[in-house]
């Protein structure tokens, strides 16, 4: 992928850019910079190319190869994946946000629903596992649901870019449910919680797990390998440990479960499941939530 030229500075090598386009060179430079590779854009054969240190050439090529694999340029029609409406960026996250707000408006002012669906640790320990799912649909107030909807829309969207919308929604819901179960077990009798924030931090954890698996596949080691984990913990520290009635345990368990599921689902990122799988995953998630509410309400 690299070559030398007479105008290449000593100790540096040229990474050619297709067509010598300046915009493509700038894009690749940003990709390398995000991975800690020092480089600069310079003129080369009538166009532009990247200049990197010889010692970092192999790593730079690995980063760019991975980037191009996950982000086809579209220059080659055969390399461009077919469009999948359910997996398009933004759709699944926005849908999830509106569903959360709609549920809150429908449940607001109905204390019997909160009593039946909250993550009551005592009831969960007695066998009412479905509360770990129904609690994700309940919020203490409008500010709580708006906050979860905004952050959820962003992070669900990010996961759906890799796995597709239906699968992302299903796995993120699973992180929230398992996180609630673990939190109820840790907190013990008397602990009650509601809110989708466990699943929101589950989405953050999934992004961290996916990125960690991708970096391991690229052969990264040391600090570069663990950057996604540090970023996830940083978000937990900024968003998940302060404020009124914040359930830190739920946030932490959601993050941890999400990290495990993200790493486990990394093989799916190489070839995102197709539309029928996305639809099936989305429908299965909706059916599971409905069934949990039926159990909660004794129907």
Give the tens place of pLDDT for each residue, 229-276. Answer: 888 888 888 887 776 678 899 999 999 999 999 999 988 877 778 889
Answer with the one of 38, 63, 79 that is the final residue of a domain.
79
pTM for the full model?
0.71
Same domain, 101 and 249: yes
In the chain the beta strands, taken as DSSP E runs, fall at 12-16, 39-44, 47-53, 119-120, 192-193
pLDDT, tens digit, for every residue of 141-176? Answer: 999 999 999 999 989 998 998 898 999 999 999 999
Same domain, 272 and 167: yes
| Element at 174 (helix H, strand E) | helix 165-187
Could you say which DSSP state residue 188 is in? -
Q: How many helices (H) and strands (E) does the chain have?
A: 13, 5
Name the strands in the sheet holding 47-53, side by side, starting at the edge strand that comes first in the sequence: 12-16, 47-53, 39-44
Rounded Cα–Cα distance for residues 164 and 159 (Å): 7
DSSP 139-153: -SSHHHHHHHHHHHH
Per-residue three-class SS string for 210-263: HHHHHHHHCCCCCHHHHHHHHHHHHHHHHHCCCCCCCCHHHHHHHHHHHHHHHH
Task: Judge whether 7 lies within some domain.
Answer: no
Same domain, 70 and 56: yes
Same domain, 215 and 261: yes
> What's the CATH number where 288 sits?
1.20.1540.10
For residue 15, count other CB atoms closer than 10 A to its CB.
22
Which pLDDT does position 44 carry in this prediction? 79
Count of the separate structural domains present in the chain: 2
CB-side exposure of 267: number of CA atoms within 13 Å? 1
The parent domain of residue 31 ranges over 12-79
Task: Judge whether 248 lies within some domain.
Answer: yes
> What's the CATH number where 37 sits?
3.30.70.1530
DSSP helix/strand/coil, 41? strand
Which pLDDT does position 243 carry in this prediction? 67
Output the average pLDDT for the chain: 84
């Amino acid at each position: 992928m690299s070559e030398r030229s007479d105008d290449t500075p000593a100790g540096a090598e040229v990474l050619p850019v297709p067509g010598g386009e300046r915009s493509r060179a700038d894009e690749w430079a940003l990709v390398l910079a995000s991975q800690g590779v020092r480089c600069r854009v310079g003129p080369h054969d009538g166009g532009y190319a990247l200049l990197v240190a010889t010692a970092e050439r192999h790593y730079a090529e690995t980063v760019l190869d991975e980037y191009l694999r996950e982000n086809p340029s579209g220059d080659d029609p055969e390399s461009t994946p077919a469009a999948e409406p359910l997996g398009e960026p933004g759709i699944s996250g926005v849908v999830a946000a509106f569903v959360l707000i709609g549920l809150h408006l429908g449940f607001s002012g109905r204390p019997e629903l909160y009593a039946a669906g909250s993550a009551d640790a005592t009831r969960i320990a007695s066998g009412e596992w479905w509360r770990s799912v129904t609690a994700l649909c309940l919020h203490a107030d409008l500010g709580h649901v708006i906050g979860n909807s905004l952050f959820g829309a962003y992070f669900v969207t990010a996961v759906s870019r890799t796995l597709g919308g239906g699968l992302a929604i299903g796995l993120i819901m699973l992180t929230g449910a398992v996180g609630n179960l673990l939190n109820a077990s840790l907190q013990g009798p008397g602990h009650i919680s509601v809110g989708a924030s466990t699943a929101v931090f589950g989405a953050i954890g999934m992004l961290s797990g996916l990125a960690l698996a991708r970096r391991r596949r690229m052969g990264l080691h040391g600090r570069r390998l663990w950057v996604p984990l540090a970023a996830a913990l940083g978000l937990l520290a900024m968003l998940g440990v302060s404020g009124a009635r914040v359930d830190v345990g739920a946030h932490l368990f959601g993050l941890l479960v999400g990290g495990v599921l993200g790493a486990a689902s990394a093989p799916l990122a190489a070839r995102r499941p197709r539309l029928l799988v996305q639809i099936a995953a989305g429908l299965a998630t909706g059916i599971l939530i409905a069934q949990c509410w039926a159990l909660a309400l004794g129907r």
